[in-house]
Amino acid sequence: MDQNFRLSDGGLINRDKKLSFKFNSKTYYGYEGDTLASALIANGVHLIGRSFKYHRPRGFFGAGVDEPYAIVQLYRNGETEPNIKATEQELFEGLEATSVNCWPSVNFDIGAINNFLKIFLPAGFYYKTFMWPKSFWYKVYEPFIRRAAGLGVASTKHDKERYEHKYEYCDLLIAGSGPSGLASAYAAAKNGARVILAEDKSRFGGTLLTSDVNIGNQTGKEWAEGIISELKEMPNVTVKNRSQVFGYYDHNMLVMSERISDHLPKTKKFHPKQRLWYIRAKEVLISSGSIERPIVFGNNDTPGVMLSSAAKEYLKVYGVLVGRNPLIFTNNDSGYETAIEFKKNGIDPIILDTRKDPQSEIVEEAKNLGINIKFSYVVVAAQGYKKVKSADIAKISNNKEQLGSVENIKCDCICVSGFWTPTIHLASQSGNKTKFNEDIDAFVPGTSKQNETTLGAANGSYTLDRTLKSSFETAYELSKKITNNDNKVSLPNIVEKKSTTHDKFWCVPLPKGKNYKRFLDFQNDVAVSDVEIALKEGYRSIEHVKRYTTLGMATDQGKTSNLNGLQLVSNIENKIVPNVGHTTFRPPYTPVSIGAIVGREVGKHSKPTRKSPMHTWHEKNNAIFVDAGVWLRPRYYKQGNENLFEGSKREAKNVRTNVGVCDVTTLGKIDIKGPDAAELLNRVYTNAWLKLPVGKARYGVMLREDGIVMDDGTTTRISENHYHMTTTTAQAANVLSHLEYYLQLVWPELNVNVVSTTEQWAGAAIAGPKSRDLLQKLFPKSDVSNEGLPFMGYIEGDLFGVKARIFRISFSGELAYEVNVESDNGNFMWEKIMEVGQEFKIEPYGTEALSTLRIEMGHVAGSELDGRTISYDNSLEGLLSKKKDFIGKRSLTREAFIAEDRQKVVGVVPLDKKTSIPEGSHLVKDSNAPLPNPKLGYISASCWSVEYDNPFSLAILKDGKNMIGEKLFVMSPLKNKVIPVEIVSSHYVDPKGERVRS
Amino acid sequence: MLHIKCPHCGMRSQNEFSYGGDATVKRPELNKEVSDQDWNNFVYNRKSLRGKHLELWQHLSGCRQWIKVERDTATHEIFRTFKANEDNS
Ligand SMILES: [Zn+2]
């Protein structure tokens, strides 16, 4: 029958819009404004899943964020998402959801055998039961647990949805739009403060939507609607529904997730699915309300047992009956409100009140309505497997220890109210030292560490009058402090029913001879007996009890279970609850999707992509790109069907025989100016810099203070007080910070300025025996002869009307130059070089050929300067000045750094001159030595030497100085290779460096 | 995320800054004899204080200035911030 449990009218749903949806493949109908939970209950569906451990049937327990059971797998627009609370998921046309934790189906579940095995699955069962034999773990236990456990299946597909991040500042952030949230937002906004009001549900108003109160001659709901529409019109106010403030971090930064599209069948074009807000607030008002506590009794996890406040919400907001034969089990007046709502809708509830003779307006009203009330009565156990069919009830003695004779009464739901627990998660996250309030048996916020104030029910205030008064007052005072305005709004007239004190009773004793499971934590199946075992086994700290039993550890973070768990521990331990203390609350308050946390920083967008001005040319000329830090660099330019090996070999060969051109724009460039520039260089580099003439470049190595090589590069003296420094691509940012550190903090007396010019200059390295001929044609007016522009010389030239800097420096070991022009002219320069270079058989070369050229020349680079090596290791000790001090020099006398057999860079050639050597392989003396085979060194870089047409590698080898000519083995367990090799000089090609000077 | 007041730019979020360690460490002067002990202390040895700590931060994505920040390492409270050359006593 269609929506059998829906009342004929009432509720806040839109009855004009009927929606169809599927749960476990069966089609149902609901209305716009329903949640999946309310729509299922309207259709009489109460079996929604299976429990985590024992696979007991699970129904609905709450109506919102506190729901521990009703977790489903959601299917929406071709995507699937696990861990969705049916009580939070709004209904949309075509929604599909399935149960989790059950296999093969929710009605017949194999895992439920666990229920009969529960004697084997007590507290700590993960630690105990599945320990032995060890070999069983992978084959038997783990697959079984994995199959049977879990709260849904994560999609393995790429998430096509878009998630955004937003940064916002405000005077007051108000979390929660119940009575205290609305009142404080209104008071602060009227006083000119910039306010953000966040509500996690789709409807604003919180308990005002369900409680029978009157504010300023309006119902609570009408008053809430009036305030919200007024706030929405104000320019200084941002009002957000479906937005959960889930984390409170340092310096009053809070994070909120806004669900923009989750309630729609499909995300609208150009809209994000969710948005994550980073909000920095001057003041935070926490008006997160409170969550009803369950009372613990036998089989209290049976579907149909739920919070009384949830039953009321289903009735008042959704027009849905959770049962036609309700039993209300309460220790306070809240249960009566639910009973009265049932009665008003023609349903006859029975109230069991643990109190003996409570006197209040609400109790009086219930009596007057003729509701059947049994005082000093408790539910001993729920009966029924997949749904409550009846309840065993009994009278309870005044000391709450003895039960009278047990009777069974028919009912189809049990609505429980064990009083209220303030939602102090945000306050606790902020560092607030919470305190225990004896009147309400719960923790409330105490001393603030940050600028936050908790109001209303979240602060343990359960009368509307007190809540509104303090909210108006607090928000006025705080906003006045920030805005200096003095506009005070007057408190409206408030009418509410007076209630009386609750009964501190929370757990029904077991009747003689019965051992019903009495659950504390409904999501993780933790029962009273589990906590008893943990304590018996010696666990004392509440944090340990939590981890051993998993009490309060699941996705609901113990929202309904925490306090009862604490009560139990304190009873057994004979301590008062505040001495047991609560476990730490940590963000997030509710689960947040990974997509929202990641935002748009996925795939290509996870970091910026930097491209040189010549990038388009590279693309057009079949460059295969490689990531170099955040830069994209051509790895090689593919011709025909060439692979990387063939292409890079061709390019490198052409550099050695003709001329090649390489885009070196990505090299770090730092402009250094000032009268003390030379002195700075002299201190940061290991070699001498004071006598470098204008128009000359010099190679330099800089160390960290611990003596390790930090970076290398050439620096050129452009004019008297002006230098151009280059760094490696990878270290560019670090070197700049390094220079700034010394200039600003260590040697502020040096008159020098440094600035990054990496992106201001486009660079092209022209290398090869024909490079000078090409250069002459590019710069016909300049003297580029060996005398006019010698090795390490620098001139400025005119490149067809464009000003260029020409450096005679070489990374390839060939006669080479580097031409720099302003970035905007980069492509022009490149095209000219290619055009004029045709007659010299010029070819562009990428990073792979660049590596080959430098490796076979024995030039060290990032793979040798890897943050673990010193100058000596890289054969750069010749550049260590003895005459002056420099950064890191003092560390070089460390024992390990001057050891006789210190590691050093060497060349490695396979004996067969054929087998390529994998980078990262180890060098060993004896390939058959027992493991662990002593490692003598490692391969840092490998190439195919184009000069000799055989493999060649560089290695950092222990006592490398004395190892030249030795025969060793390269071992790569990863690639399963053992290669006999000979150690040679790292300068494999042109060891005297004649070519660069030719 | 901390909120740090750059003495040059004003209040900025932590993600614009990079951390630079203990601000009270003084680099030994160049060209002076330094004992192994003193050099080791300068390069390696740092106290991991709980409580008030004077530390360096660089406003990397802002003015690029190195600044001094007096921060409680346990509570993250920031008491004062100083320019590099400002007296922090
Ligand atoms: Zn700044």
On the question of pLDDT at A405 being above 80, the answer is yes
For residue B6, how far is its CA from the centre of ligand 1 (angstroms)?
5
For residue A737, how far is its CA from the centre of ligand 1 (angstroms)?
14
Q: Do B27 and A746 touch (CB under 8 A)?
A: yes
- Give chain A's end-to-end CA distance (angstroms, integer): 95
CA distance B51 to A995: 61
Phi-psi region of A867 (alpha: psi -120 to 50; beta: other; left: phi over 0): left
- A79 min Cα distance to partner chain B (Å): 33
Asked whether residue B32 is assigned to any structural domain, the reply reads no
Structural domain total, chain B: 1
- Write out pLDDT tens, residues A449-467: 999 999 999 999 999 999 9
Q: Is A576 on the interface with B (CB under 8 A)?
A: no
Domain coverage including residue B64: 3-25+41-83
Answer yes or no: are the C-beta atoms of A195 and A475 closer than 8 Å: no
Out of A162-176, A247-261, A538-552, which region has the weakest mean confidence (pLDDT)?
A538-552
Q: Which residue has the tokens 């509410």?
A: A496
Q: Which residue has the tokens 């409904």?
A: A522
Q: Is B60 on the interface with A (CB under 8 A)?
A: yes
Q: Do A251 and B31 touch (CB under 8 A)?
A: no
Beta strands in A199-317 (DSSP E): 214-215, 218-219, 237-240, 243-249, 253-259, 274-286, 290-292, 305-307
pLDDT at A510: 94
Mean pLDDT along residues A962-974: 95
Q: How confident is the model at residue A299 (pLDDT cuts 50, 70, 90)?
A: very high
Q: Is B25 on the interface with A (CB under 8 A)?
A: no
On the question of pLDDT at A113 being above 80, the answer is no
Q: How confident is the model at residue A108 (pLDDT cuts 50, 70, 90)?
A: low
Token output for A257: 């997730």
- Write out pLDDT tens, residues A883-939: 999 999 999 999 999 999 999 999 999 999 999 999 999 999 999 999 889 999 999
Q: Is A495 on the interface with B (CB under 8 A)?
A: no
Q: Is A608 on the interface with B (CB under 8 A)?
A: no
Q: Which CATH number does the domain housing residue B47 bear?
A: 3.30.2270.10
Nearest of A771, A764, A758, A859 to residue A818 by alpha carbon: A764
Asked whether residue B36 is assigned to any structural domain, the reply reads no
For residue B80, how far is its CA from the centre of ligand 1 (angstroms)?
15
Asked whether residue B62 is assigned to any structural domain, the reply reads yes
CA distance A732 to A729: 6
- Chain B residue numbers touching A740 (CB-CB < 8 A): 58, 64-66
pLDDT at A572: 83
Asked whether residue B21 is assigned to any structural domain, the reply reads yes
Token output for A96: 């599909």
Asked whether residue B77 is assigned to any structural domain, the reply reads yes
Instruction: Kindly provide the ipTM of the predicted complex, given to two decimals.
Output: 0.98
Nearest of A395, A525, A458, A490 to residue A50 by alpha carbon: A525
For residue A728, how far is its CA from the centre of ligand 1 (angstroms)?
27
- Cβ-based neighbour number of residue A785 at 10 Å: 10
> Which of B5, B44, B64 has the most A C-beta neighbours within 10 Å, making it the best mutation to test the interface with A?
B64
Q: Which domains does chain A have, with CATH numbers?
A: 14-148 (3.10.20.440), 163-290+422-495 (3.50.50.60), 294-392+406-418 (3.50.50.60), 505-602 (1.10.10.1100), 605-666+760-859 (3.30.1360.120), 668-757+868-891 (3.30.70.1400), 899-997 (2.40.30.110)
Phi-psi region of A365 (alpha: psi -120 to 50; beta: other; left: phi over 0): alpha
pLDDT at A188: 98
pLDDT at A157: 87
How do A290-292 and A420-422 pair as beta strands? Answer: antiparallel
For residue A675, how far is its CA from the centre of ligand 1 (angstroms)?
26
Mean pLDDT along residues A582-600: 90
- A745 min Cα distance to partner chain B (Å): 6
- A193 min Cα distance to partner chain B (Å): 20
Q: Do A890 and B34 touch (CB under 8 A)?
A: yes
Percent of chain A with pLDDT over 70: 95
On the question of pLDDT at A543 being above 90, the answer is no
pLDDT at A974: 87
For residue B7, how far is its CA from the centre of ligand 1 (angstroms)?
7
The larger pLDDT score, comparing residue A544 to residue A577, is at A544
On the question of pLDDT at A153 being above 90, the answer is no
- Write out pLDDT tens, residues B9-57: 999 999 999 999 999 999 999 999 999 999 999 999 999 999 999 999 9
pLDDT at A116: 53
- B52 min Cα distance to partner chain A (Å): 16
What is the overall mean pLDDT for chain A? Answer: 93
Most confident of A107-116, A195-204, A495-504, A592-601: A195-204
Q: How far is CA A30 from CA A19, A82, A89, A241, B59, in A?
A: 5, 22, 13, 22, 55
Q: Which residues surround ligand 1, an ion (CB under 5 A)?
A: B 6, 8-9, 59, 62-63
Nearest of A460, A466, A524 to residue A290 by alpha carbon: A460
Interface list for A 342-381 with B (CB within 8 A): none
Asked whether residue B61 is assigned to any structural domain, the reply reads yes
Answer yes or no: are the C-beta atoms of A300 and A307 closer than 8 Å: no
The larger pLDDT score, comparing residue A731 to residue A559, is at A731
